Amino acid sequence: MMTTVQKVAIVNGTPDVLKLLDPVLDTGHYAVVFVESTRHAYSDIKRLQPNLIILCLDVDDAAGFHVLSMLKLDDETRGIPLVTFTTEFDGGEPADVPVEPLDAEMFMPTPALGMN
């Protein structure tokens, strides 16, 4: 019996994310395509039409969130399952200055279960 290979697009994949996904994607049923930056991610994904998108976002970079919005607003791409990985703010403030975020600025590093 022949197994269908699923196409997975990974956008901005860091070594840590790739190490985390390797056991899952290494089963041989996935053709992994790497999109190295968000600059052309939207057009690359529209061209590739993958079965799954893994979008690695940096909370300090709006470009990744822009790509996410464009994918969800486009009729051709909104049905593609999408998993996001986010990285937290790495502390650009001096260590001796306590930072107290406002309630509206809180970041919860929990995966989203659904977005539509």
State the 10-residue block means of pLDDT for the chain, 116 residues long: 80 82 78 87 94 89 90 95 77 53 52 51
68, 53 in Cβ contact below 8 A? no
Q: Does the pTM of the predicted model rise above 0.75?
A: no
Q: Per DSSP, which regions of 1-116 are E strands?
A: 6-11, 30-35, 52-58, 82-87
Counting the structural domains of the chain, the total is: 1
Q: What is the CATH number of the domain that holds 41?
A: 3.40.50.2300
pLDDT at 48: 94
Say if 13 falls within a structural domain.
Answer: yes
Whole-angstrom Cα distance, residue 35 to residue 37?
Answer: 6
Give the residue from 74, 13, 86, 77 showing the smallest Cα distance to 45.
77
Say if 97 falls within a structural domain.
Answer: no
Say if 10 falls within a structural domain.
Answer: yes
Query: Which residue range(s) make up the domain with 54?
Result: 6-88
